[in-house]
Amino acid sequence: MTTVRPFPETHIALAHGNGGRLMRELIESLFAHHLANELLDTNVDAARLPSEAGAGEIMMTTDGFTVDPLEFPGGNIGSLAVHGTVNDLAVSGAIPRYLSLNAFIEEGLEVALLDRVLAAMAAACTEAGVNVVAGDTKVLRRGQGGGIYFAVTGIGLRRPELKLGMDQIRPGDAVVLSGSVGDHGTAVLLAREQFGLSGELQSDSASVLPVTQALCELPGLRFMRDPTRGGLATVAHEIAHATRYGVRLLERHIPVREPVRMVCEILGYDPLYLASEGRVLAVIAPENAELAVDRLHGLGYADAAVIGAIHSGKPTVSLETELGGERILQELEDDPLPRIC
């Protein structure tokens, strides 16, 4: 068994991305140290993945992560990169299996910070049951990056009989949400300390695989999506645009934590447009909507609720307010919180 010596530097240098000895030390002492598994071979250019006859449809996704700050209450860019990629597979109905990782590291980054990020990434991989099986590392000149950027590709397997998509949605279907909205966006906003605000709110960044697997067992499931950038309102607009049906949301049923509500009121944000990184929006046949909510409550998702419905009217997104009025939710034009995920 090869003994990997501790990484000898305290900060990243440009030479750690030059393909030579220093880069090899970086990969072996930090990346491979945290993310080691039987399939990860840092000496090859392509990973050989085991195939299983009849295992299901292969699903693939890819995403980039540029969150600022790199560490925030409830997570960091490492755990977020795993959760974000795993969740994109999970809401497609797949079981995530393998990840590839591209790391873009800025010269001068503290190695201790990179070590914490990779440790969190490894823990998130273990929790989600995935392995990083391939990767690449680049080092950018000081001032040309945001500390660390990650690009992650994920592969998973989905049962062939599972048919999910916006083309499955029908008028009358119910909209189910697995938990409160805007937690991640607000937690990152508070961590930036730009507005003199502070609080104990944690990001909701987490794997949604327990939610999606529970919902996939129910008949009548049409569609799932994790409401990340642009939040709940943006997913509703995507549904309306793709189906040409209307989406009506019920404000009194949408769970919003009080710290999120207060910050949004102070700064003029709308929680329906803020990112959540551990939530699922699902569209399901109306006769099974309450069963879906009960199933999620039983798994510990106490805030899960039916928050609206699909209708055959104009393809708009409307919100029935707590006072009984109606407000049209406009499509998001500007990015209210850049580098949120």
Tokens of residue 326, six digits:
């109606």
Could you list the pLDDT tens digit for every one of the 341 residues in the chain?
455 568 888 999 988 987 778 888 899 999 999 999 988 988 767 677 777 767 788 999 999 999 999 999 999 999 999 999 999 999 999 999 999 999 999 999 999 999 999 999 999 999 999 999 999 999 999 999 899 999 999 999 999 889 899 999 999 999 999 999 999 999 999 998 776 777 789 999 999 999 999 999 999 999 999 999 899 999 999 999 999 999 999 999 999 999 999 999 999 999 999 999 999 999 999 999 999 999 999 999 999 999 999 999 899 999 999 998 999 999 987 776 788 88
Cα(134)–Cα(11) distance, rounded to whole angstroms? 24
DSSP 248-277: EEEGGGS---HHHHHHHHHHT--GGGS--S
Element (H, E) at 127: helix 111-128
- Rounded to whole angstroms, the Cα distance separating 218 from 93 reads 12
Return the CATH fold of 166-328: Phosphoribosyl-aminoimidazole Synthetase; Chain A, domain 2 (3.90.650)
Residue 318 half-sphere exposure, CB side, CA atoms within 13 Å? Answer: 16
Q: Hey, where are the domains in the chain?
A: 14-158, 166-328
* Model confidence, pTM: 0.91
CB 226 within 8 A of CB 277: yes
Q: For the domain covering 14-158, report its CATH number.
A: 3.30.1330.10
- For residue 234, which phi and psi values (nearest 5 degrees)? -70, -40
Whether the CB-CB separation of 229 and 238 falls below 8 Å is answered with no
